[in-house]
């Protein structure tokens, strides 16, 4: 969109909740930002429809007290994120205003704070040299942000190639100081500072190509890593009824995942849940670097009581930040909880504009909007040959817990991992409540991932995973038979099949997110326990009657569970392992 | 509300529906309060010089030339210590014999707390009810509803919880309360000698339904005053939020909005969240805890109202009649307190989390055994023991008439474990078993 010096002005002519109709005196663009002047403050809004000389804008604030006739200033640009060093460890609202910089206990309408400290000095080191040819996203230099090499890049908005006319020497510079001057083909000179702006609803395309993902992204959650792995640059979603464990699961991933940067978008969910992050992340260690988790994390909090329009913006803000760090060659993990709230925000606006509704009153283009968003994730080869990735996992909160609804269905078409949380499992406290049969990771079918898994973990790994899934499936069938025919209506073998799947369920699937040891299971430990569980499943055991099976397997599971709760390979761990061995010996046939 | 000089008066009503009317007027602010023929109303839509007003008491008998007086502000409540011990209607006007409350006038439905200024809730609320304290521990700053069918004693349990919770103030938001229930609350609080710490905003079934929309905001504005200014522990009781949501749907329907699921407005989630998110723990010590009631129809939690509520609140408490022991219990399967993690095993004994989980798991085994029995299958010895355990667990711990402290609850649970199961069957961390397993 053209940025013009002369900005259009307008006057409020109608108000319906947070939809405001503005009579304008000049050109306006779709998605242009404007500010409504209301007794000394300016309330930010975005154009979402234009009809003749009327612009329909969604206000990112409460519209209480707005009156027809109030003046509106158009900004000449779309909703933009300020990108630069200092984003990490910050807590933002949906529009990327620094929440900690705000003054009061209550949020003040129109109090817009800078995304990061614009006066801060950084130790800059040049990476490009005078005369180098650069383009959007090229690395010009770097600063050290929380021990992460933060690249200062040629602005994403550049088109075509530029030559570096000058570049600052290593030293201390302010965020807004010019650290380079670039010259275009037409001789136009572009000064570059450490800050650039990017319209959040547009994808950053400063890369060469997006290959299919091929590397595992370890999360420490067994049911994900082992059974349905997510990958660097992959997409996944977690649908589930309320209380089934979506947030706990995402928080576990955010704490444990093998990522350089974690961006958490709390989108229309509970404030107390982001307070958990604010409280814990500065204290908890990143298991990969030993530094504090907060150092690698940025939180975007548009909680459910914050304005609805800003909720829609919040996921885009988060994605733009993710793309910025990906362009530095970093592994970014982006989590959004819950994408359904974002879809609902779209629905509220669409209804107010009296658009023709699609299924469940959601806007007709919902599937396209969702697919467009997910497509911004991915692993990319940057122009300098390095890779960077955004792995995106969103939660979905289906109405009534019924997966046959527009947000779940639209997401299922685009996300490659499906982690379905089951009410039944949650009710019986089998956490995490991911249904092992319904859920899938399409990546597990990728030969390139299978290859890396077998290399990284062990040669027969993918086969073992298949075996586990098989046991679970057969266990489910056995359970159904037992239910229909009764305990004594089926063979002892059927009971064995069932109980072996219970072992897999209890030891591999179930994981206590609130136990210090069990919460995170590194890959090596996962592999060890998978071997153990498969060994149990393959052990020939003899029973005289089905009544002996249940108590016996309860003991097997108890011993294995104690192993899960013990420090890996500690004396305690070994002791339970021996105990297990003893239990298995008892039933050796012969 | 008397008319004052600066108030603007109009008399050209151009459209009237059952809940709204549209008047030609200028200088009108969004959400502004107005009086239409003496009835309170609020601006819900402005197009040019046409303002649409939602008339809380309904529009019956309003003529097109009725006087519409704009008040220049959105609905307010006068807050001050004098609120304590008083009963008000949905507009914040006294319905007891006391005088008008003098105090600072505050707009209701005010701004949200900056999430970084909240404190992580960590203060336990004890109720003596094991179905709550043991399995679904409550914490100050939490928001949690009772999910219950209309015939269940939710108001009684709520009143009991409120009185035992050691709150500085209890604020009752009665939304479509029957007169009998209103008097019940009044009596219980009076008999407990607690009237001086109660503040009530009540809309009964006799009052117009749309007025109900004001009650939660009134109650929570008062709650904020005591929690912020006085740093008090405030407990807000909102009953019945299903009737609140019904009132929302009446208004949105009259405004021709496209309904989403179960004829509820598409904004139901946001509307409810704005209220429930007023629950907060402040850094300075004050807190607002919200205990609400959401009545269900035939136990159906997939209906839009309980469904959206469940997505907003920090858990829910289910009441159910256990026919085997003939008592109402807090259902351990469907109930959940999500903030319990913050306190159990930390503010309570270290074995609390594992004991709680083990007991519920064993209770689930009993439920399976019962299904087997109903399907005509033989029970194993384990099944029999699980069933007996379940019966006692229900009577000794889940029933709402239990009133013991948390330590005692844990002891009872261990005793039942020891009586009916082996250690392997209970499956708790060994070090805890070593410490607490009942000695012969
Ligand atoms: N892995 C787990 N281990 C132990 N408890 C868990 C686990 N996952 C979930 N829970 C329990 O379930 C509760 C609800 O989980 P969570 O808040 O993640 O649900 P949710 O799916 O995000 O619900 P909503 O849609 O309402 O936000 C938690 O407070 C916790 O008590
Ligand atoms: Mg959640």
pLDDT less than 70: residues of chain B: 1-6, 440
**CATH topology for A461-586?**
1.10.1140
Please compute, for residue B182, the number of CA atoms within 13 A of its CA located in the half-sphere on the CB side.
21
A72 CA: distance to closest CA in chain B (Å)? 15
Residue A177: Cβ-neighbour burial (10 angstroms; 0-12, 13-18, 19+): middle
pLDDT of residue A488: 86
ipTM > 0.90 for the complex: yes
pLDDT of residue B424: 86
pLDDT tens digits, one per residue of A81-121: 999 999 999 999 999 999 999 999 999 999 999 999 999 99
Separation of alpha carbons A297 and A286, rounded Å:
10
Ligand 1 binding pocket, CB closer than 6 Å? A 240, 242-248, 269, 397, 431-432, 512-514; B 310-311, 336, 338
Cβ atoms of B219 and B201 within 8 Å: the answer is yes
pLDDT of residue A217: 97
**CATH topology for A119-194?**
OB fold (Dihydrolipoamide Acetyltransferase, E2P) (2.40.50)
Separation of alpha carbons B162 and A357, rounded Å:
44
Looking at the predicted structure, is the pLDDT value of residue A583 above 50? yes
3-state secondary structure labels for all residues of A505-543: HHHHHCCCCCCCCCCCCCHHHHHHHHHHHHHHHHCCCCC
Distance from Cα B336 to the centre of ligand 1, integer Å = 9
Q: What is the DSSP string of A53-72?
A: TEEEEEESS--TT--TT-EE
Distance from Cα A245 to the centre of ligand 1, integer Å = 3
Interchain pair B312, A63: CB under 8 A = no
Kindly report the CATH class assigned to B9-70.
Answer: mainly beta
Separation of alpha carbons A125 and A142, rounded Å:
5
Q: What is the DSSP letter of B173?
A: E
Q: Where are the domains of chain B?
A: 9-70, 78-107+140-313, 352-436
Closest-CA residue in chain A for B259? Answer: A361
Kindly report the CATH class assigned to A222-442.
Answer: alpha beta
Cβ atoms of A258 and A217 within 8 Å: the answer is yes
B315 vs A contacts (CB less than 8 Å): 243
Domains B9-70 and B78-107+140-313 share a fold: no
Looking at chain B from residue 194 to 233, which residues have their Cβ under 8 Å from any Cβ of chain A?
228
pLDDT of residue B4: 55
- Helix crossing, A366-374 with A406-414: angle to 10°? 40
pLDDT tens digits, one per residue of A305-353: 998 889 999 999 999 999 999 999 999 999 999 999 999 999 988 888 8
Find the mean pLDDT for residues A528-552. 93
Looking at the predicted structure, is the pLDDT value of residue A1 above 60? no
Look at residue A83 and give its three-state secondary structure.
Answer: strand
Please compute, for residue A274, the number of CA atoms within 13 A of its CA located in the half-sphere on the CB side.
35
Residue A2's pLDDT band (boundaries 50, 70, 90)?
A: very low
Task: Delimit the CATH 2.40.50.100 region(s) of chain A.
Answer: 119-194
Tell me the C-alpha to C-alpha distance, in Å, between residue A211 and each of A216, A381, A454, B366: 14, 8, 20, 52
Which spans in B192-262 are helix H? Answer: 215-224, 241-254
pLDDT of residue A4: 52
Q: Kindly state the helix (H) or strand (E) to which residue B172 belongs, with its residue range.
A: strand B169-177
Find the mean pLDDT for residues A114-135. 96
pLDDT of residue A422: 94
Joined tokens for residue A323: 């793309």
For chain A, what percentages of helix, strand and coil (3-state, to nearest 5) are there?
Answer: 35, 25, 40
pLDDT tens digits, one per residue of A437-472: 999 999 999 999 999 999 999 999 999 999 999 999
Looking at chain B from residue 323 to 362, which residues have their Cβ under 8 Å from any Cβ of chain A?
333-334, 336, 338-339, 341, 353, 357, 360-361
Instruction: Determine the residue among A11, A13, A41, A68 to mutate to test chain B binding: the one whose Cβ has the most chain B Cβ atoms within 10 Å.
Output: A68
Q: What is the DSSP string of A346-403?
A: HHHHHHHTTPPB-GGG-BTTHHHHHHHHHTT-EEEE-TTS-EEEEEEEEEE--GGG-S
Kindly report the CATH class assigned to A9-78.
Answer: mainly beta
Joined tokens for residue A512: 């206590």
Answer CATH for B78-107+140-313 from 3.40.605.10, 3.40.50.12240, 3.30.2350.10, 3.10.310.30:
3.40.50.12240
Location of structure tokens 């474990």? B417
pLDDT of residue B440: 67
pLDDT of residue B6: 63
Task: Determine the residue of A222, A248, A273 to mutate for testing ligand 1's pocket, defined as the one with the most ligand atoms within 8 A of the Cβ atom.
Answer: A248
Task: Delimit the CATH 2.40.10.170 region(s) of chain A.
Answer: 9-78
pLDDT of residue B260: 84
* Residue bearing the bigger pLDDT, B258 or A415: A415
Interchain pair B277, A303: CB under 8 A = yes
Give the number of the atom of ligand 1 that is nearest the alpha carbon of residue B338. Answer: 29
What pTM did the predictor assign? 0.94
pLDDT tens digits, one per residue of A86-97: 999 999 999 999
CB of B437 less than 8 A from some CB of A: no
Distance from Cα A250 to the centre of ligand 1, integer Å = 10
pLDDT of residue B197: 95
Looking at the predicted structure, is the pLDDT value of residue A5 above 60? no
């Amino acid at each position: 969109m053209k940025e013009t010096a002369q900005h259009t002005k307008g006057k409020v002519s109608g108000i319906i909740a947070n939809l405001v109709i503005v009579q304008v005196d000049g050109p306006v663009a779709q998605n242009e930002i404007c500010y409504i002047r209301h007794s000394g403050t300016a309330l930010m809004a975005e154009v979402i429809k234009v009809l003749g000389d009327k612009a329909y804008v969604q206000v990112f604030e409460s519209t209480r007290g707005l009156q027809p006739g109030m003046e509106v200033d158009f900004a000449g640009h779309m909703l933009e994120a300020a990108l630069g060093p200092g984003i990490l460890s910050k807590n933002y609202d949906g529009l990327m205003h620094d929440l900690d910089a705000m003054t009061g206990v209550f949020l003040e309408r129109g109090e817009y704070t800078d995304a990061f400290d614009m006066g801060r000095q950084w130790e800059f080191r040049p990476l490009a040299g005078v005369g180098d040819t650069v383009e959007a996203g090229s690395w010009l230099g770097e600063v050290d942000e929380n021990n992460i090499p933060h690249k200062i890049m040629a602005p994403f908005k550049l088109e075509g190639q530029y030559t570096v006319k000058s570049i600052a020497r290593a030293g201390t510079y302010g965020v807004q100081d010019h650290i380079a001057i670039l010259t275009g083909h037409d001789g136009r000179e572009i000064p570059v500072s450490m800050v650039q702006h990017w319209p959040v609803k547009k994808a950053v395309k400063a890369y060469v190509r997006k290959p299919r993902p091929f590397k595992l992204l370890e999360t420490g959650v067994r049911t994900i890593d082992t059974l349905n792995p997510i990958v660097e640059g992959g997409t996944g979603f977690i649908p589930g009824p309320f209380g089934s464990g979506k947030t706990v699961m995402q928080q576990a991933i955010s704490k444990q995942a093998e990522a350089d940067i974690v961006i958490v978008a709390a989108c229309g969910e509970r404030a107390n849940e982001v307070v958990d992050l604010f409280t814990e992340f500065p204290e908890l260690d990143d298991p990969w670097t030993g530094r504090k988790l907060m150092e690698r994390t940025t939180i975007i909090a548009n909680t459910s009581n914050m304005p609805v329009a800003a909720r829609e913006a919040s996921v885009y803000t988060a994605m733009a930040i993710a793309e910025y760090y990906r362009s530095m060659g970093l592994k970014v993990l982006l989590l959004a909880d819950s994408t359904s709230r974002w879809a609902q925000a779209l629905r509220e606006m669409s209804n107010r504009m009296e658009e023709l509704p699609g299924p469940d009153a959601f806007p007709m283009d919902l599937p396209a909007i969702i697919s467009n968003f997910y497509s911004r994730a991915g692993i990319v080869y940057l122009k300098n040959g390095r890779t960077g990735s955004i792995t995106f996992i969103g939660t979905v909160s289906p109405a009534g817990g019924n997966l046959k609804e527009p947000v779940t269905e639209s997401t299922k078409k685009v996300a490659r991992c499906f982690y379905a949380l089951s009410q039944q499992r949650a009710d019986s406290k089998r956490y995490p409540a991911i249904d092992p049969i319904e859920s899938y990771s399409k990546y597990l079918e990728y030969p390139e991932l299978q290859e890396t898994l077998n290399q990284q973990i062990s040669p027969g790994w993918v086969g073992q995973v298949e075996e586990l899934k098989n046991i679970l499936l057969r266990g489910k069938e056995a359970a159904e038979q037992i239910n229909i025919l009764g305990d004594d209506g089926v063979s002892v073998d059927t009971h064995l099949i069932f109980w072996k799947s219970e072992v897999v369920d209890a030891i591999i699937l179930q994981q206590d997110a609130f136990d210090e040891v069990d919460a995170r299971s590194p890959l090596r430990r996962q592999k060890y326990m998978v071997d153990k569980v498969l060994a149990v499943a393959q052990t020939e055991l003899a029973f005289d009657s089905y009544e002996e099976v249940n108590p016996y397997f309860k003991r097997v599971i108890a011993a294995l569970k104690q192993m899960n709760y013990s420090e890996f390979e500690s004396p305690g761990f070994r002791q339970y392992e021996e105990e297990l061995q003893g239990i298995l010996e008892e039933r050796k046939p012969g | 509300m008397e008319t004052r000089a600066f108030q603007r008066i109009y008399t050209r009503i151009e459209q009237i529906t059952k809940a709204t009317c549209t008047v030609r007027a200028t200088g009108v602010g969004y959400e502004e309060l107005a009086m239409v023929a003496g009835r309170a109303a609020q601006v819900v839509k402005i197009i040019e010089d046409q303002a649409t007003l939602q008339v809380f008491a309904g529009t019956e008998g309003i003529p097109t030339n009725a006087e519409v007086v704009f008040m220049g502000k959105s609905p307010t409540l006068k807050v001050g210590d004098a609120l304590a011990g008083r009963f008000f209607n949905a507009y914040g006007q006294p319905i007891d014999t006391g005088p008008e409350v003098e105090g600072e006038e505050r707009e209701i439905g005010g701004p949200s707390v900056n999430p970084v200024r909240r404190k992580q809730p960590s203060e336990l609320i004890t109720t003596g009810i094991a179905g709550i304290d043991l399995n679904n521990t409550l914490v100050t700053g939490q928001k949690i509803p009772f999910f219950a069918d209309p015939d269940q004693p939710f108001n009684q349990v709520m009143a009991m919880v409120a009185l035992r919770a050691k709150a500085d103030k209890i604020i009752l938001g009665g939304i479509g309360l029957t007169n009998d229930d209103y008097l019940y609350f009044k009596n219980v609080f009076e008999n407990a000698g607690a009237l001086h710490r109660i503040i009530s905003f009540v809309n009964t079934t006799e009052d117009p339904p749309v007025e109900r929309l004001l009650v939660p905001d009134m109650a929570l504005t008062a709650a904020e005053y005591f929690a912020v200014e006085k740093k008090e522990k405030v407990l807000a009781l909102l009953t019945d939020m299903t009737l609140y949501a019904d009132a929302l749907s009446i208004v949105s329907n009259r405004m021709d909005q496209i309904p989403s699921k179960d004829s509820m407005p598409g904004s139901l989630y946001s509307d409810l969240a704005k209220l429930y998110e007023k629950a907060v723990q402040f850094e300075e010590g004050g807190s607002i805890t919200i205990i609400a009631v959401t009545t269900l129809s035939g136990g159906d939690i997939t209906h839009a109202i309980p469904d959206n509520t469940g997505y907003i609140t920090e858990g829910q408490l289910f009441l159910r009649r256990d026919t085997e022991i003939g008592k109402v219990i807090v259902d351990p399967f469907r109930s959940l307190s999500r903030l319990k993690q913050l306190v159990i095993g930390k503010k309570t004994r270290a074995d609390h989390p594992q004991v709680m989980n083990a007991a519920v798991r064993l209770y689930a085994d009993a439920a399976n055994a019962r299904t087997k029995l109903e399907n005509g299958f033989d029970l194993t010895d384990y099944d029999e023991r699980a069933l007996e355990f379940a019966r006692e667990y229900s009577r000794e711990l889940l029933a709402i008439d239990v009133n013991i402290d948390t330590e005692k609850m844990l002891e009872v649970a261990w005793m039942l474990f020891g009586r009916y199961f082996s250690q392997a069957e209970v499956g708790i961390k060994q070090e805890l078993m070593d410490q607490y397993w009942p000695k012969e």
